Amino acid sequence: MRLGEGVEWGLHCCVTLGWLEGEGPVSIRRLAAWFDLPQEYLKKRLQALARAGILTSTPGARGGFALARPPERITLMDVVAALEGGEEFFRCEEIRQRGAGAVGARFDGPCGIAAAMRRAELAWRRELAAQTVADLMAGSPASAERARRNYARLGG
Amino acid sequence: MRLGEGVEWGLHCCVTLGWLEGEGPVSIRRLAAWFDLPQEYLKKRLQALARAGILTSTPGARGGFALARPPERITLMDVVAALEGGEEFFRCEEIRQRGAGAVGARFDGPCGIAAAMRRAELAWRRELAAQTVADLMAGSPASAERARRNYARLGG
DNA sequence: GCAAAGGTACTCGGATATCGGCTGTCCGAGTCTGTTGGG
DNA sequence: CCCAACAGACTCGGACAGCCGATATCCGAGTACCTTTGC
């Protein structure tokens, strides 16, 4: 099992957009050049973040993407759910109700296996929800300064 | 992102094998009939569990699969790792080091985003490691009795 | 000087191609059990 | 009665096909800013 690359891209883009706050919207072309990523596919992923209300997108010349709210109010869970669809890892197909093993059984309560997997999944989601983009920005303070410098250079 | 169905199959098989302890090895044909699952593919998944030391497989006539250790010592993490490869959800591709955004940067420490994702993933793994097959067996006590009855009927 | 027209840069959404992994099936080889036949 | 040979049941490992989702690209349409043109 594996998360899509779009999660890494989206998180890095959110952090960078946080650092570039105040510079106006950042075009997808610049963001793709920023991380050397395929422009068209990165656009698709950021559009998903915009649909989820995490980014704002302004069309037209000098348009682009920006954070829709302050980075303290964007959790990693928000980003992951927007990019991965928010579905659960484990989908219970209720195989306990099928086949010869189910003969004569009553299935009142929920499947214990599904409940156990859900517990683990909730722990994951809780941990993701406890961390925000602002935390990630604070993780490497020197980078904010460099981001502004590099963005000015890229602007040409 | 989604776990393979094999995880659900493997967990249900482990619980059932726990209930049928003492009946000798259970053949893949019976297990497939037990849950109405494709026999050949289920075999592949159980072979993976055997390679991981969770199940024992005895060849020959009247052979089959059985738990390799008492169910209290088989965690959900063991089963998931054996069936899903134990790789991490999030693989950091170090895109922070690529493109125009990386100009003039030094990347001493680990990537903060990777560290944050790893924290969440560890919470998931910890939760899975805290639950055993024995816990799942205890979840529906009436089922153990029924399992033995149905297994005797299936035996013919 | 000012307003209208056009060009440019950008996003949005859909359509399409490609690739890898999960699902599922099949087959040959090896191993153990139970039976059968000869001494 | 005993031992050897055989048949059956089962696992192991590899090879292979089909399908779906992730990745990647392209195009037409819409929108905002900027420049040019005409008065």
The pLDDT tens digits along chain B (156 residues) read: 899 999 999 999 999 999 999 899 999 999 999 999 999 999 999 999 999 999 999 999 999 999 999 999 999 999 999 999 888 999 999 999 999 999 988 888 899 999 999 999 999 999 999 999 999 999 887 888 899 999 988 765
The answer as to whether B137 is a domain residue is yes
Residue in chain A lying closest to B108 (CA): A140
The answer as to whether B95 is a domain residue is no
The answer as to whether B83 is a domain residue is yes
Residue B140 neighbours by CB distance under 10 Å: 19
Predicted confidence at residue B105, as pLDDT, reads: 87
Predicted confidence at residue A68, as pLDDT, reads: 97
**What are the residue ranges in chain A where pLDDT is below 50?**
none
Q: Is the CB of B101 inside 8 Å of chain A's CB atoms?
A: yes
Predicted confidence at residue B155, as pLDDT, reads: 66
The answer as to whether A39 is a domain residue is yes
Residue A141 neighbours by CB distance under 10 Å: 8
DSSP-H helix ranges across A52-100:
76-84
Crossing angle of the two packed helices B28-35 and B39-51, in degrees rounded to 10:
120
Q: Give nucleotides in strand C with any atom < 7 A to a protein C-beta.
A: 7-14, 22-27, 30-34
Residues of B in Cβ contact (< 8 Å) with A153: 100, 103
The answer as to whether B13 is a domain residue is yes
Predicted confidence at residue B156, as pLDDT, reads: 52
CATH number for the domain harbouring residue A56: 1.10.10.10
From residue A140, give the alpha-carbon distance in Å to each of A70, A147, B97, B106, B116.
18, 11, 14, 11, 13
The Cα angle at residue B86 between residues B80 and B92, in degrees rounded to 5: 135
In sequence order, the 6+-apart residues with CB closer than 8 A to the CB of A107 are A94, A96, A97
> What is the domain count for chain A?
1
CB within 8 Å: B12 and A146: no
Q: Is the CB of A94 inside 8 Å of chain B's CB atoms?
A: no
Residue in chain A lying closest to B128 (CA): A120
Q: How distant is C1' of C7 from CA of A21, in Å?
A: 30
The answer as to whether B113 is a domain residue is no
| pLDDT tens digits for range A17-55 | 999 998 999 999 999 999 999 999 999 999 999 999 999
Question: Is there a contact between B82 and B10 (Cβ–Cβ < 8 Å)?
Answer: yes
Predicted confidence at residue B56, as pLDDT, reads: 97
The answer as to whether B127 is a domain residue is no
From residue B124, give the alpha-carbon distance in Å to each of A7, A125, A133, A144, B94.
18, 9, 21, 31, 23
The answer as to whether B120 is a domain residue is no
Domain that holds residue B75: 5-87+133-154
pTM: 0.93
